[in-house]
Amino acid sequence: MENQQGNAAGWQNKQTYSTSGQDLQSCATYWQNNHSYMASWQNFQSYATLSQNQNSYATCWQNQDSDATSWLNEQSYEIGSKNQQNYETSWNDQHEHATMSSEPEFTCVSDHTSTLLVNSLLYPETRNESLWKLVRWQNDIPDLALKLWCTPNVVTILLFEMCSLYKDVQNKTLTTLQSKMACNIIELIKCIASHPVTRMLCLQVNLPAYLQPFMSFVPNEKIYEKPCALCLNVLSTLLQANDQAATDYVLKMDFVNVCLHTMNYGSVYLKTTGVYTMLKFLETELGFSYVRNDASQISKIIHALGIAVQTVQQKPVPILLKFTLRCYSRLSTEESIRDKLRKCLPQQLKDDTLKFCFGNDQRVRFWIQNLLNEIYSNEATKGVQK
């Protein structure tokens, strides 16, 4: 009996021990669950932090990508009809650039910074970036032309870079990077040619002659088109100075034939550049005298202007028409040339053809009517409604 009671007591103790073990296991399970919950919470916090970091990184990357996109847009070669309003505004600024890129807003460049940029042109690893910055900020750097000219070896290096591209231009293997470098160098040469102090120095060392290979043919690709247009702009810059020595130099470069070739066979963009350059040439007394005394040159110019009018009819570009009409107007100031214009003025200017091309653009109507009044001595012109 006592043994049975002892066994019963032992059984109860085992049950108690088992219960205690179960409680311990429950506690352990509860602690593990809590620990897992805490770990999950920590993981969740870590994940949230990581997600925030990733979002911050993504935002940063997007900003960087946006900046890069903006920079690429600034280097864009898009022209003409794709952005006709910007195209026309750029040409109306009286310091027209063949590059239609939008310049970054920059208020001032310190003398120290500009000096560092000019000196950086001496080193191949910093040359491209320095070229780009100097071109974009040239209007904010006082006397940049003097710094370029007076810094030893800078002009020599620019000419060396230009000469290194001649073979690729001739073989039509120019890359986009090379084209951009050529454009930036030509812009700096234009800067030197436009400064009253360095202009004559530029001509004395025959600097514009190094641009000749880029104008020796009319390119059919934009990669060659922009350098060619910029070279013509350098010549127009020299002509705008209205200096006899500069005009003489431009004539010695066979400028008239180069310009006529561009007007006859170039794209709309190059035609606009060519007509504008021809206009600047005709506006100089020496240039106009050169043309006025050569009947064959007069015929060639009138023919090229007629092609420009036909181009405008096919692809209406108001600024091209404006420059073309201004060339006609300048030629009409000479009585003998005015008689010739009365006989061979394009029919599109006499009737309403261009009116329909440009819709309700009153500027075009005014330009054409004004030209007709000048040529026909204010006589009523048939086919043109007032």
DSSP output for 216-256: SS--SSHHHHHHHHHHHHHHHHHHHTT-HHHHHHHHHTTHH
* Region of residue 245 (left: phi > 0; alpha: psi -120 to 50; beta: else): alpha
Separation CA 238–CA 119 (nearest Å): 26
d(C-alpha 308, C-alpha 52), whole Å: 59
Instruction: Indicate if 247 and 262 belong to the same structural domain.
Output: no
Q: Which helix (H) or strand (E) holds 164?
A: none
**pLDDT reported for residue 163:** 95
- Regarding whether 349 and 282 lie in a shared domain, the answer is yes
Who's near 312: CB < 8 A, 6+ residues apart? 320, 321, 324, 348, 354, 357
Note whether residue 264 is domain-resident.
Answer: yes
CA distance 26 to 125: 71
For residue 97, the model assigns a pLDDT of 37
193 and 270 co-located in one domain: no
Predicted local confidence at residue 352, as pLDDT: 72
Contacts for 160 with CB less than 8 Å, ≥ 6 apart: none
Return the residue matching tokens 């107007």.
Answer: 329
**pLDDT means per 10 residues in the chain (386 residues)?**
46 45 45 45 43 43 43 39 42 38 54 91 94 92 92 95 93 91 95 93 92 80 89 92 87 89 91 94 90 91 95 90 94 91 89 73 84 73 41
6 is a domain residue: no
Residue 218 and residue 119 share a domain: yes
DSSP-derived secondary structure letter, 103 = P
User: 165 and 302 share a domain?
Assistant: no
pLDDT number for residue 356: 67
Locate tokens 């805490």: which residue?
38
pLDDT for the residue 255:
87
Domain boundary among 228, 253, 278: 253
pTM listed for this prediction: 0.68
- pLDDT at position 28 is 43
Dist CA 209 CA 231 (whole Å): 10
Residue 152 resides in a domain:
yes
By the 8 A CB rule, do 327 and 301 touch? yes
Last residue within a domain, chosen from 253, 286, 304: 253
Specify whether 235 is located in the same domain as 269: no
Question: Is 45 within a domain?
Answer: no
Domain-terminating residue out of 253, 274, 292: 253
Domain extent at residue 206: 107-253
Evaluate whether residue 373 is within a structural domain: yes
Instruction: Kindly state whether residues 112 and 233 are assigned to the same domain.
Output: yes
As a whole number of angstroms, the distance between CA 36 and CA 134 comes to 62
Residues 226 and 182 in one domain: yes
When divided into structural domains, the chain yields a total of: 2
